[in-house]
Structure 1
Amino acid sequence: MSPRQQHPVQLTGVRKIYGGGPSAVTALDGVSYGFAEGTFTAVMGPSGSGKSTLLHCAAGLDEPTSGEVSLAGTPLRGLDETALTELRREHVAFVFQAFNLMPALTVRQNVVLPLTLAGREPDAAWVTDVIGRVGLGERTKHRPSELSGGQQQRVAIARALAGRAAITFADEPTGALDTQTATEVLALLRDQSRAAGQTIVMVTHDPVAASYADQVVFLVDGRIVHETPAPTGEGVAAVLAKLSRTKVPT
């Protein structure tokens, strides 16, 4: 079976260089990795290691300078923006640090918006369950301006989970949440990965958040340098401490 058949998200020899000449910055340096179906993977590394760039390239939001990316079995190279948008709408959900909520819509309307745009009928019971599990069961009719930043992040997470997308990309999804809500959200992400076979790729700086994942992939200077299966918070913190003192050989 080919890697593209095995992995809903596959990167092969991906390089991403910003700028040119002496000021060029290599954000990703030949990354090859497959995120397997039904797995929850945390991506970690020191500041500037390429974590968010990897996420953006994997999701088709940024085009690699070279190398190949396959998403939901479809190679991304050569797809125009319309085709990319349709592919993401069908298979992908996002949780980014910018909540991207529609200010005129209620919590529930924001949660089901991607499904509505895709012409899909929301599963009302599941939407209610997800909103409740992120702690907003009493806020379904509130608008974003009536919510705190943490509550808006919960709406974004519920929106990502409501459509049961095959692939979810999350960039620091619990950064604006209190400890208890963060724990509940991470458990929900983990449960969805295992129960629904979703592939979840999460960038985080938090070792405790990473401990909810099935494995942690560590980047340094745009390269994958370590992988930890069945992570613990203490183990992840120890690896990060070591990597922060390590320079990848050129």
Structure 2
Amino acid sequence: MPAPVQLTEVRKVYGTGPSAISALDGVSHTFEEGTFTAVMGPSGSGKSTLLHCAAGLDEPSAGEVSLAGTTLRGLTETALTELRREQVAFVFQAFNLMPALTVRQNVALPLTLAGRSPDHAWVTEVIRRVGLSDRSGHRPGELSGGQQQRVAIARALAARTAITFADEPTGALDTQTALEVLTLLRDQSRAAGQTIVMVTHDPVAASYADRVVFLVDGRIVAESASPTAEGVAAELARLSRSSLKVTS
């Protein structure tokens, strides 16, 4: 059975000629079923680009990306949209909530768009787990930024897709809520077999993952299994020092 997310020699270059910037430089990695992986690295290392290419939101300049067993190269935009709708959920820094819909309606929206009947009990449960039971009838404009991020996370979890991509999902949350959300992501990966790929700069957030992948200058340079916050912080500091030595 193919891995949910597979990158093979993926390169991404922005621009041409002397001003071209290489964001990814031959990245190969497999994200296995039921794993929770954090992607980390110094600023400008290519973390978000990797996420976008892996999710089919950005097309690599070279290499192959396979999502849920389907090679993305050559897919029409319609086919790609349908694949993401069926197999992928997203949590990005931009909440992308519908302002006219309530919390509950926003959480159930991807299921409705995919032509699937929402599991109302599960929608209620994920709203409860992100601490918004008393806000389920409110609209985004009536919520704080942190509360809106929790809606976005609940929306991703409610879809029960095979794969979830998250870009700094706890960046706008207070410490307690962030830890609760990370626990929920970890539990979903283990109990429901979801493959979760999360970009984060926070060693504590990364410690909730099964594995951490470290990027520097668009290349995977290290990995850590069963990470701890202290170990991740130490590795980030080491990589940052190494990067400064190379560029100085």
Task: Quote the residue 1:43 is aligned against.
Answer: 39
Supply the distance in 1 between the matched residues of 2:226 and 2:182 (Cα, whole angstroms).
15
In the other structure, the counterpart of 2:165 is 169
Match of 2:200 among 201, 204, 217: 204
SS in 2 for 1:216: strand
Match of 1:123 in 2: 119
Which range moved further: 199-208 or 117-126? Answer: 117-126
Corresponding position of 2:187: 191
Counterparts of 2:124 and 2:111 in 1: how far apart (Å)? 14
- Equivalences for 1:99-178 in 2 at 5 Å? 99-178=95-174
Alignment partner, residue 61 of structure 2: 65
TM-score (norm 1): 0.97
Shift of 1:40: 0.1
Deviation readout 1:56-88 (Å, 9 max, x if unpaired)? 000000000000000000000000111100000
- 2:190 and 2:99 map into 1 onto residues whose CA distance is 33
Amino acid at match of 1:31: V
Match among 214, 221, 226 for residue 225 of structure 1: 221
Identity of paired residues, percent? 83
CA contact (8 A) 1:15 1:66 kept: yes
Q: CA deviation at 1:249?
A: 7.3
5+ residue gaps, structure 1, are none
What runs of 5+ residues in structure 2 fail to find an aligned partner?
none
Counterpart Cα distance in 2 of 1:23 and 1:156? 36
CA contact (8 A) 2:2 2:68 kept: no
Letter in 1 for 2:149: Q
How far apart, in 2, do the equivalents of 1:161 and 1:50 lie? 26
Q: Any idea what SS the aligned residue of 1:100 has?
A: coil
RMSD: 1.1
Aligned to 1:22: 18
1:84 aligns with 2:88: no
State the secondary structure of the residue aligned to 1:67: strand
For residues 82 and 249 of structure 1, what CA distance do their matches in structure 2 show?
43
Kept after mapping to 1: 8 A contact 2:33/2:194: yes
Q: Which of 168, 176, 179 pairs up with 2:175?
A: 179
What CA deviation, in whole Å up to 9, does each residue of 1:83-130 have, x standing for no partner?
A: 100000000000000000000000000000000000101111111010
* 1:111 partner SS: helix
User: Does the CA-based 8 Å contact 1:6-1:37 persist in structure 2?
Assistant: no
Give the Cα separation in 2 of the matches to 1:11 and 1:245. 28
C-alpha separation in 1, matches of 2:96 and 2:85: 15
User: Structure 2 length normalisation: TM-score?
Assistant: 0.98
Distance 1:77 1:226 in 2: 27
CA distance in 2, matches of 1:186, 1:38: 15
Q: 2:209: which partner in 1?
A: 213
1:12 aligns to 2:17 (yes or no): no
